[in-house]
Amino acid sequence: MPLVEVDFINPVISSLEETFETMLDCKLARTGLALKENNTTLHPISGIIGISGRMAIGTVVLSLSIPVALHAASTMLMTEITEPDEDVMDAVGELTNMVSGSTKAKLSKYNLSMGLPSVFHGSNCHIHFPSSSHPIAIPFQSPWGALALEVGFSFMN
């Protein structure tokens, strides 16, 4: 039975929504879905993690606007954070790890492994997705602002 990319992407979407609702008490609304037209992140703060297994490899990016990153870190650390500092980067890394860990659990039948998250801050950060993947961007809106998932998987035969 061939793998379908949607079988991998839907668990990432539900993992993001569940993580934000459970950990941050923040409800997300998906606002679209599109093939990525370039390899730059959609927002200036991004957590990136690689997922691999014998049947698939992929890259999952949690891309946050600065207001979302600040509110998420403030909520997680229970203190007001007003600038994108090391605490914000650590919080985004932890959120990325939680989303990926939940995704891995939802896809447990595929025996996937996760790398450690990397967090980047800045405009025009370039992402490397697996060469045969067709990365997609899934934008969301939250009460704090915009964020997106950017996901690409490549499947082995």
Q: How far apart are CA 48 and CA 53, in angstroms?
A: 17
81-127 pLDDT per residue, tens = 999 999 999 999 999 999 999 999 998 988 989 899 999 999 888 88
d(CA 157, CA 149): 26
Q: Which residue has the tokens 């969301």?
A: 140
> Tokens 């927002």 identify what position?
43
Rounded Cα–Cα distance for residues 9 and 36 (Å): 14
Q: pLDDT tens digit string along 57-82?
A: 899 999 999 999 999 999 999 999 99
Q: Go through the domains of the chain in sequence order and give each one's CATH number.
A: 1-22+39-55+65-132+152-157 (3.40.1550.10)
pLDDT at 2 over 50: no
pTM: 0.92
- What b/e sequence results for 118-136 when a residue is b if at least 16 CB atoms lie within 10 Å of its CB, and e otherwise? ebbbeeebebebbeebebb
Is the Cα torsion angle 77, 81, 87, 88 positive or negative in sign? positive
